[in-house]
Amino acid sequence: MNPSSDDSPRDLPIPLGHPLAGHEDLIDALRECGRLFHSRGWSVGTSSNYSVVLGNEPVDLIVTASGMDKGRLERNDFVRVGGDGKPSFENQPRSSAETMLHVILAEMPETGAILHTHSVWGTLLSDYFYSERGFEIEGYEMLKGLEGIHTHQHRQWVPVFDNTQDIPKLASQVREALGDETDPLQHGFLIRNHGLYTWGNDVFAARRHVEIFEFLFECVARKMSLPLK
Amino acid sequence: MNPSSDDSPRDLPIPLGHPLAGHEDLIDALRECGRLFHSRGWSVGTSSNYSVVLGNEPVDLIVTASGMDKGRLERNDFVRVGGDGKPSFENQPRSSAETMLHVILAEMPETGAILHTHSVWGTLLSDYFYSERGFEIEGYEMLKGLEGIHTHQHRQWVPVFDNTQDIPKLASQVREALGDETDPLQHGFLIRNHGLYTWGNDVFAARRHVEIFEFLFECVARKMSLPLK
Amino acid sequence: MNPSSDDSPRDLPIPLGHPLAGHEDLIDALRECGRLFHSRGWSVGTSSNYSVVLGNEPVDLIVTASGMDKGRLERNDFVRVGGDGKPSFENQPRSSAETMLHVILAEMPETGAILHTHSVWGTLLSDYFYSERGFEIEGYEMLKGLEGIHTHQHRQWVPVFDNTQDIPKLASQVREALGDETDPLQHGFLIRNHGLYTWGNDVFAARRHVEIFEFLFECVARKMSLPLK
Amino acid sequence: MNPSSDDSPRDLPIPLGHPLAGHEDLIDALRECGRLFHSRGWSVGTSSNYSVVLGNEPVDLIVTASGMDKGRLERNDFVRVGGDGKPSFENQPRSSAETMLHVILAEMPETGAILHTHSVWGTLLSDYFYSERGFEIEGYEMLKGLEGIHTHQHRQWVPVFDNTQDIPKLASQVREALGDETDPLQHGFLIRNHGLYTWGNDVFAARRHVEIFEFLFECVARKMSLPLK
């Protein structure tokens, strides 16, 4: 259990020599994501995990520790991990089994931050469109907020992977999709009944992607329920 | 009427000798639950009640007093009660008739906190599935946040009890379900058109369970309204 | 336009001799209602009006001035009015034309505060059930939060009056319903496509009634959209 | 990326000689709109843009810079532009391509502020009613909050323009609709799958219009999903 935010040492610098020292600003940016996403209902019940990338090759990550309330993350609720998804320093808290998904995404040189959220609309769509292994979003101005997209006429394919407790298997499926030569996975994906992974070149960009996907998921789902004309 | 939060002595310690003295941290954790749940719309209109367990055998509880606005609970808006559900010290405010449900749940040795909330989605499902006396939730990653659950393939049965003003009768039905030898009631239940009871080994765990159940209730209810494919 | 909340003299006492002087606590309780209801989406776009009753016979009321943003009411955004619904002192801002509805409700000796809100769900139901001139709410535990109700089996009739710009005519219809000998209007009513009026013996009770009605309106409306079984 | 709000110089006056100097109050009013609209979900993912009008003839505008998080705008996240929609002083950040829409609206002498938001309900309705090029809203009391409207019986036509990346073309369509001699565009319009533009004689009035339109959009959309009677 992380302590309540009122009496926490959240604004004290992390002691020199600690694996997180010197990265307070990045950690605080993730904590702010947590407060926002929890208030939106996208990171409740200790779901979700967030990371910032310190290095891509080899992968050097700071990721949320396992089981924390995302609405009130403290500076020491994070773990520094390496390319094997394991803590790269001693005496750190445990990170989630899903850390390997962060590692896979952090291998791409342009990735600076990775955010996994868990919303109602994302969950519903991930199940509804699982049989097609994904769904397309097209024609929304909001798509232009995705990195590198310059027109609302863009067609965004949102892949849905099956949920599994075998994270290495899922990670290798995601790596394969990212490296697809004709149609590489871009911007984000869903895991069935589990939630969204998205990323960006920094925390700000990744957070923007979360907001955009969640907005679009709500549009897609609500649109399906409007009456036929 | 509890006073407004701005001019209240909320952060002063409770005087020595008062039945709540020394338990300020636990009380403050329940008050924080109240602020969160009220803002979510799960504890409006003075509905809901929350407790922490000081002892299981005999039961020694601190529970919200009756009729309080859950969004701005003060430290003295709580009552200390015993195994009969009645105030165990003199000169305390009245607690809700439902206190006996808290007592029944507090008899289990692992229970540290009990939270009763009252959301729109929980209310709707409790009525919709009353004729089946409950409903099953399966396949959601979010289920893994329930204590002791390690896979999304878990099937969670959410029993629905009929609402009644005869709380002792309801309490004995709940006790019977908790003690069922083949399929004991676990994690939480609904009362028809009334709301959720859930619990955990501390306030943090119980609050996590509230967030998880409310998330899942919204998923189940919204999923029913998606169009057929 | 009321000034922004940051640089406002909101916590200064009102000068002696001003018609609002000495009633700062009541006014602040209404302002807190405004912040809450605006954040819920029940008082947006300068809709809604709120009052506290200083005297029932003759009626002596403090009511919100016309056209204010309910999310950031200042102490001087209120008007003191008499039994004719007009300012009872000189040099006060204008109050809403609907003030006469507050006056009618304030004539009942037990009324201490009156709150008019304007939610999406209330608006939808007021139109949907207009042809029946109202609808019944029954079986919800939340009904027990209405003053004087002790069982969820209570049947609450929510009358819907037609909207009109002829407020004196509407006020006389409401007065007639309040005085009905066999089935008097109780707790609250809707105006078609316009919103809720509810009241209580103090601001706390009236606010509780708003929360309860809004919760129940959402339940009634969402329940209608669940699939048939 | 704009810096986080905690360590920002947001309350320092803008230095003399800067194109924004002396307009801190207007800028702060837009920033407050941003915080409100972001929290409502109407300005997420860096969508939306807001402006205040310093002069109508020639047009002199302060408008949000491109790509900013609307939930935490800083004082220097704004640009001063002229009647050509281009920065009227050197060394300013870039403004959005949509600035020309603000310029067109600012040419009307009564326009003091222009707010563009991007909600889920507005997005859905803009697509649903695109084939009719708009839709009518009638009978809602909330309509009376629109400037110059004095009865709920008012019929408000909300035009929907097709989305395009050719903003000058869209701007000329809007200018034509504003100048229509028999039925001029009033209060606001939607762009298909893109969002709302509305305006008022000051920031307060424009913000009120946003709240009113968003409320009415939600009513119109949800009403379509209620079952037939």
d(CA B64, CA B85): 12
**Is the pLDDT score of A222 beyond 60?**
yes
The identity of residue D165, as a single letter, is Q
A153 to chain B, minimum CA–CA distance in Å?
A: 26
Say if the Cβ atoms of A193 and B139 lie within 8 Å: yes
d(CA D193, CA B93): 55
β-strand pairing of D188-191 with D155-161: parallel
Q: How much is the pLDDT for D96? A: 87
Backbone region of residue B193 per phi and psi (left: phi > 0; alpha: psi in -120 to 50; beta: other values): left
CA closest to C30 among chain B residues: B4
Q: Would you say residue B149 lies in a domain?
A: yes
Whole-Å CA distances, B49 to B44, B69, B117, B197: 11, 10, 7, 9
Interface test with A, best of B40, B121, B203, B215 (most A CBs within 10 A): B215
Mean pLDDT (whole number) for A145-164: 95
C214 chain-B contacts, CB cut-off 8 A: 44
Residues spanned by the domain of C117: 9-225
Partners of C190 in beta bridges = C160, C196
Report the run of H or E that residue A217 belongs to, with start and end: helix A203-225
Whole-Å CA distances, B16 to B23, B52, B73, B169: 11, 19, 20, 37
Of C117, D97, A223, nearest to B225 by C-alpha is A223
Q: In chain C, which stretches have pLDDT less than 50? A: 1-9
A138 to chain D, minimum CA–CA distance in Å?
A: 10
Where does the pLDDT of residue B22 fall: very low under 50, low under 70, confident under 90, or very high at 90 and above? very high
D227 chain-C contacts, CB cut-off 8 A: 224-225
Of C163, C44, C132, nearest to D153 by C-alpha is C163
Partners of D80 in beta bridges = D62
Instruction: Report the 10 Å Cβ neighbour count for A120.
Output: 25
Q: How much is the pLDDT for D97? A: 84
Q: Would you say residue A165 lies in a domain?
A: yes
CATH number at residue C33: 3.40.225.10
When comparing pLDDT for B188 and C3, which is higher?
B188
φ, ψ of residue D87 in degrees (nearest 5): -55, 130
Length of chain A counted residue by residue = 229
Half-sphere exposure of B168 (CA within 13 A, CB side): 4
CA-angle at D24, arms to D22 and D30, nearest 5°: 140
The partner residue sitting opposite A47, judged by closest CB among B28, B142, B223, is B142
Provide the strand spans (E) within chain C. Answer: 49-56, 59-64, 78-81, 113-117, 134-138, 155-161, 188-191, 195-200
D29 to chain C, minimum CA–CA distance in Å?
A: 8
Mean pLDDT (whole number) for B6-10: 45
Total domains, chain B: 1
B227 chain-A contacts, CB cut-off 8 A: 224-225
The alpha carbon of D212 is separated from its chain's Cα centroid by a whole number of angstroms, namely 13
Residues of A with CB under 8 A from a CB of B: 1, 4, 41, 44-47, 69, 118, 120, 123-124, 127-128, 131, 163, 165, 191, 193-195, 221, 224-225
The long-range contacts involving C7-15, CB below 8 angstroms and separated by at least 24 positions, are C8/C74, C9/C74, C9/C75, C10/C74, C10/C75, C12/C75, C14/C75, C14/C76
For chain A, what percent of residues have pLDDT higher than 90? 92
Say if the Cβ atoms of A215 and D191 lie within 8 Å: no
pLDDT tens for residues C96-138?
889 999 999 999 999 999 999 999 999 999 999 999 999 999 9
Residues of B with CB under 8 A from a CB of A: 28-29, 32, 40, 139-142, 145, 150-152, 202, 204, 208-209, 211-212, 214-215, 218-219, 222-223, 225-227, 229
pLDDT tens for residues B24-73?
999 999 999 999 999 999 999 999 999 999 999 999 999 999 999 999 99
Mean pLDDT (whole number) for B65-92: 95
Mean pLDDT (whole number) for A54-77: 96
d(CA D203, CA D53): 9
Of B69, B77, B72, B76, nearest to C204 by C-alpha is B69
Q: Would you say residue C166 lies in a domain?
A: yes
- DSSP-derived secondary structure letter, C119: -
Contact pairs from chain A to chain D, CB under 8 Å: 66
- DSSP-derived secondary structure letter, A47: -
Q: Would you say residue D2 lies in a domain?
A: no
D140 chain-C contacts, CB cut-off 8 A: 123, 193-194
CA closest to A146 among chain D residues: D45
Partners of B157 in beta bridges = B136
Say if the Cβ atoms of B141 and A4 lie within 8 Å: no
pLDDT tens for residues D6-45?
444 457 889 999 999 999 999 999 999 999 999 999 999 9
CA closest to C39 among chain D residues: D40
Partners of B95 in beta bridges = B65
Contact (CB, 8 A) for D37 and D64 = no
D222 chain-C contacts, CB cut-off 8 A: 120, 124, 221
**Is the pLDDT score of B1 beyond 80?**
no
Instruction: Please name the residue that has the structure tokens 């009605």.
Output: C213
Q: How much is the pLDDT for D193? A: 97
Say if the Cβ atoms of D204 and C1 lie within 8 Å: yes
d(CA B49, CA B127): 21
Residues in CB range of D172: below 8 A, 6 or more apart: none
Residues in CB range of D38: below 8 A, 6 or more apart: D44, D69, D70, D71, D72
Predicted model pTM:
0.95
Tokens in use for B144?
A: 């893994």
Report the run of H or E that residue D122 belongs to, with start and end: helix D120-128
CA closest to D67 among chain A residues: A145
Tokens in use for B120?
A: 């729109």
B154-163 burial: b if 16+ Cβ within 10 Å, else e: eebebbbbeb
Q: How far from each other are the two terminal CA atoms of chain D, in whole angstroms?
A: 51
Q: Would you say residue D1 lies in a domain?
A: no
Q: Is C113 helix (H, G, I), strand (E, B) or coil?
A: strand
B220 chain-C contacts, CB cut-off 8 A: none
Q: How much is the pLDDT for A229? A: 84
Q: Would you say residue A2 lies in a domain?
A: no
Average pLDDT, chain B: 94
